Structure 1
Amino acid sequence: MEDKNHIMFSNLLYSCVADKQRGNEQFVHEHVFGYIIAGEVHSFSCNGAQIFKEGMIGLIRRNQLVKSVKVPGAGGDFKSINIFLEQDFLRRYAAENKLSSMPRYAGEPMIELTGDPFIKGYFDSLLPYFDNSAQLNPALAELKTREAVELLLRANPELKNLLFDFSEPHKIDLEAFMNQHYMYNVSTAQFARLTGRSLAGFKRDFEKVFNIPPGRWLQQKRLNEAYYQISEKGRKASDVYLDVGFENLSHFSYSFKKAFGVAPSTI
């Protein structure tokens, strides 16, 4: 058990949250196959805001930036199960089943699969392991992951183009991407990966475009957005700092005062 809100067996994660909670990870490393048992997930990405309600089942493509908030249902908890479909496993599965290399996937980043009785039954079959704290050994966890892939392909054979696209992001317009995604609190290495560059190449291209190192540019952009949200929109610093990409309120308040000469609470 990792903490009081989450139980993880290998690549299978069960969440049970009593209070509204932001997701910690904003970079989706692996494909995620998930089921919302209770409550809602409010998701924010470059494609806009989406609300995933109780009972919804979906598949989220890897290599994208997403902010999420877990919202408990009325008088209850937020509960979900997520299966992380890791690249090593999918490569082995593709080799074992003689699946040829797939073209680069260019479809929707989130696929809804609610309503399939076989997939719903699959997630129901996982609950006893978490409800009774019964440990899943690695062999059984892999078996359940294999079952998940089989059910996804049964529901929609075209999902093979998403699941088995092992290509990495191609080189894209760095300026446009950064101006759209600067409020995501992820590392420079992850920004480099998402723009199709090595870390060294990202830093070199960044300074050519913006004439400033990425770390300093990110802080300035985030602080300017925070100033606007507080001064023009009337929001509180405690409600803004996470939205604009800072990790904690004290660091945000220190940086804000250093940049603008006043504490955010005095604006």
Structure 2
Amino acid sequence: MIKIPSQLMYGPSAQNSLTIEGCSVIEQCFRTTEEKGMMFLEEHVLLFVLQGSVSLILGTRTYTVGKNEMTLLKKATVVQYEKRGDSDGGHIYYGMMFSIKDDLIKSFLATTEKITPKGTDGETRAGVHTMTECLITFAASLSPYFQNSSEVYPGQLSLKMKEMLYHLGIGNHSIYQQLMQLHQPARIGVRHIVEEYYTSPVTIAELAHLSGRSLSSFKRDFLAVYNIPPAEWIRKRRLEKAREMLETTNLPVSDICFSLGFENMSHFSRIFKEYHGKTPSFYRN
């Protein structure tokens, strides 16, 4: 599982990237007929597909983002993906991933006049939006920045991000509204949040943010519902789920480990044995 954006920026397979006021833009350009994997989103991500296509699976939802289309992926979710190169263009996949932080949205809203949308919202299928000509041109204008990132001033990049938000507000208002609402998440029930995300490698602070609470408020509300601290509840719930998967599936132990948010096999095996009395492999046998 790849953590986005950190592993694409600083990991062993780092790709061209820019950092803008704590946000990041990652350029992905490679030749492939098919590339599969899983990614965990550390930040909200706006994905542009400029050549080729990518199929995404989020829980029970599956959809495909094609050439000159985009989608918004929310923070702290696990997404399965399958990228395909353009068969008419040398099997090239080309896309850009924009991580979006609260500070960027707050700064934009504080310094920008009200934007009046024009035309349609550009949504072609649920969750998938057509990029306007302005957005396609904007993406092309970023390409030189990746090649000479050391020569680009932070102020320039900040202006480019604001330019993108203007284009979204004018031509793709539906996805723009989704972005504007991200920095003020609605207050959601603690039970709903932890049941949905306990298998994802999220921190307690991220769960608090997703629920629309401060960390201290989230911990207090969690104790009121479950009567144990959230970290202890998540650990026990993951281990119970791991036992169930060992009994009812043929998945390799390593797949079960990583699908439940555990970071490494040795840690998973040790705490599984502490909780269930046997190592995962011995338990399955």
Report the TM-score range of the alignment, normalised by the length of the smaller protein. Answer: 0.7 to 0.9
Partner residue in 2 for 1:88 = 103
SS, match of residue 164 in structure 1: helix
Instruction: Kindly provide the amino acid, as one letter, of the partner of residue 215 in structure 2.
Output: L
Alignment of 1:61-210 (within 5 A): 64-73=75-84, 79-99=94-114, 111-114=127-130, 116-130=132-146, 132-135=147-150, 136-165=152-181, 168-210=184-226
Which structure 1 residue ranges, 5 or more long, are not aligned? Answer: 101-107
The whole-number CA distance in structure 2 between the counterparts of 1:16 and 1:160 is 26
Does the CA contact (< 8 Å) of 1:16 and 1:80 recur in 2? yes
Does the CA contact (< 8 Å) of 1:7 and 1:13 recur in 2? yes
SS, match of residue 202 in structure 2: coil
Does the CA contact (< 8 Å) of 2:199 and 2:259 recur in 1? yes
The whole-number CA distance in structure 2 between the counterparts of 1:22 and 1:166 is 23
- Of 15, 28, 36, the match for 1:6: 15
Partner residue in 2 for 1:40 = 54
The whole-number CA distance in structure 2 between the counterparts of 1:97 and 1:191 is 30
SS, match of residue 99 in structure 2: strand
The whole-number CA distance in structure 1 between the counterparts of 2:53 and 2:176 is 30
Does the CA contact (< 8 Å) of 1:56 and 1:112 recur in 2? no
The whole-number CA distance in structure 2 between the counterparts of 1:42 and 1:139 is 34
**Could you say if the C-alpha distance between residues 153 and 40 of structure 1 is closer, same or farther in structure 2, counting changes exceeding 3 Å?**
same
**Could you say if the C-alpha distance between residues 263 and 218 of structure 1 is closer, same or farther in structure 2, counting changes exceeding 3 Å?**
same
* Residues matched between the structures, number: 252
Partner residue in 1 for 2:69 = 57
TM-score of the aligned structures, taking structure 1 as reference length: 0.78
The whole-number CA distance in structure 2 between the counterparts of 1:195 and 1:93 is 24
Instruction: Kindly provide the amino acid, as one letter, of the partner of residue 222 in structure 1.
Output: R
**Could you say if the C-alpha distance between residues 80 and 70 of structure 1 is closer, same or farther in structure 2, counting changes exceeding 3 Å?**
farther
Identity of aligned residues (%): 24
Partner residue in 2 for 1:239 = 255
**Could you say if the C-alpha distance between residues 85 and 262 of structure 1 is closer, same or farther in structure 2, counting changes exceeding 3 Å?**
closer
Q: Deviations over 1:212-238 (max 9, x none)?
A: 221111111111111212221111111
SS, match of residue 28 in structure 2: strand
The whole-number CA distance in structure 2 between the counterparts of 1:196 and 1:93 is 21
Query: Once superposed, what is the RMSD of the aligned Cα atoms?
Result: 3.1
Q: Deviations over 1:12-67 (max 9, x none)?
A: 222357864432x4343x4x33213445253425xx333444425324265x4321
Instruction: Kindly provide the amino acid, as one letter, of the partner of residue 82 in structure 1.
Output: M
The whole-number CA distance in structure 1 between the counterparts of 2:259 and 2:188 is 25
Does the CA contact (< 8 Å) of 2:53 and 2:66 recur in 1? yes
**Could you say if the C-alpha distance between residues 79 and 225 of structure 1 is closer, same or farther in structure 2, counting changes exceeding 3 Å?**
farther
